[in-house]
A = this chain, B = another copy of it.
C-alpha cells in the first residue's frame, strides 16, 4: 500500500464519517505512517480523526508528529483531555509539544495534569530545546550500588513499561550522583548474587545538561551507545538521551546546514508547515544583504567605460561571473560540509588551500579553452576571445581560493562557516570578477 492510496483511504473514511472505519485505522497504520499522514490532513479531518481514534493511540500519534503539528492538535482539545494526553506521552516528547504552545495555554493545561507529571515537564522546560537537557527524558532506571544482580533485574522488570530503555541501568549514590552504568547484557550474564557495583562500568561517558544536542548525538554514535546519561554541573543524574533521538538530531542539523548553504536562514519547521510570512522572513534578510554586496557590480561597470568602446566585452559578463560563482559554490559547499563533519579543521588550512588553488588552476585551464571557443563562435575576434579566456582562468583560481579561505576564516573568528552560502560566494566573486575582467581587457586591448 503506497502512502498516496493510504491518504486517500483515510480521507474517504473520514469524509464518510464511518466511525468504525476510522477507529479501525489504528490497527492498520503504524506511528511512522501517522507522522506522514497527519500534516496532509486539514483541520476538520483532524478533528474527526482525534474524536474517533481510540484514546490509547493518540499519545503515540502525537509523539511521532512534528511538535508544532502536535501542539496545534492539542489546542483543538479541551484542557482536561489535552492534559491526559500529555500525561500519557513520554515526558521528553510531551515537553517538546508544550514548548510550542503559547505560554498561558501551556500553563492552563499543565495545572490540569497530575502534579508529579507536570513537575517533570516543568523541569525539562527549563532547558533550551536544542540542549542535551532539552532532549533528555527522566524515564531512566536507577539502582543503588549494593543491589544484587538478580534484584536489579527484578527492578528493571517492574519499571519496564515506563522506562525509555531497559538495556542500561544507572548506578547512583544516595545523593543521586552518577557512579556507573550497567548493561542488561552484563546483568544477565552475571551470577545472581553479585552486587551491581562489581558489574558496572565506572565513570561512564556522560554529558552536561547545558551541552549542545549535536554533541550528545556524536557521543552516542562515536561510542556506539544505546543511551548517554545527562548530568548537572555537580554530576547529579538528571536524565538520559537514547539512540532514538540521534537520527532526528542529525537530520535537523543537516537540514539547517543545507538551508544556510542555499542562502536562507533555517526554517526550523517542516516546509509544508511553514507559513508564507515565515518563508519571507527567513529569506529576505540574506536577499537584502546580498543585494547590497552585489550592488558594487554596478559601480564597477559604470567606472569601466571601456564597455562603450568594445561592446562585445559586455556579452561575456554573465558567463564569466557565473562560472566563478559555480566554482565558488562547489568549493564552499564541499568544504563547509567537511568542516561540519569534523573532517577538516582550522589547522588544515594549508592543505585545503594548496588543493583548491591547484584544482582552480586545472579547472581554469579547461574553462579557458572552452571560453575561447565560445567567444570565437560569437564572432568577437581573437583579441576579445583571448581576454575572455585569460579572465575565466583567473576567475576560476580566484573563486576557488576565496571559497576555500572564507569558511576557515569564519571558523577562526568563531562564526559558523555555514553562513558562507553558495549565493554569498557567488556575490563576492561577481564584483571582484568584473574588476579582473576589465583590468585584463584594458591591458590586452590597450584601451
Contact = CB atoms under 8 A, between A and B. Distances in A.
A342 B272 CA distance: 11
B156 A262 contact: no
A29 to B, nearest CB: 12
B244 A246 contact: no
Contacts of A270: 338, 341, 343
Contact of A160 (B189, B338, B359, B422): B189
Given A264-B334, A290-B323, A323-B287, A307 B311 contact: yes
Interface string A32-71: 1001100100000000000000000000000000000000
Contacts of A332: 262
Interface in A327-341: 327, 329-330, 332-338, 341
B217 A276 contact: no
A316 interface: yes
Given A167-B167, A258-B258, A370-B291, A378 B298 contact: yes
Contacts of A36: 342
Contacts of A189: 157, 160
A299 interface: yes
A444 interface: no
Contact of A333 (B160, B246, B262, B327): B262
Q: What DSSP secondary structure best describes chain A's contact surface?
A: helix
Contacts of A316: 298
A338 B251 CA distance: 11
B246 A287 contact: no
A38 B383 CA distance: 51
A15 interface: no
Given A287-B326, A422-B262, A276 B355 contact: yes
A333 B279 CA distance: 13
A430 interface: yes
A321 B323 contact: no
B264 A262 contact: no
B298 A319 contact: yes
Interface in A2-40: 3-4, 30-32, 35-36, 39
A294 B322 contact: yes
Interface string A272-312: 10001001100110111011001101110110010110011
Contact of A258 (B261, B286, B322): B261
Given A271-B334, A430-B318, A358 B290 contact: no
Contacts of A31: 222-223
A206 to B, nearest CB: 14
B157 A325 contact: no
Contacts of A246: 243, 246-247
22 contacts: A3-B345, A30-B222, A30-B223, A36-B342, A160-B185, A167-B185, A246-B246, A254-B337, A258-B261, A259-B334, A264-B334, A276-B358, A280-B359, A288-B367, A290-B323, A291-B371, A295-B319, A297-B318, A298-B315, A318-B318, A318-B431, A322-B430
Given A280-B362, A286-B326, A288-B367, 12 more contacts: A262-B422, A263-B422, A264-B333, A271-B334, A271-B338, A276-B359, A276-B362, A290-B326, A298-B319, A298-B374, A301-B317, A330-B423
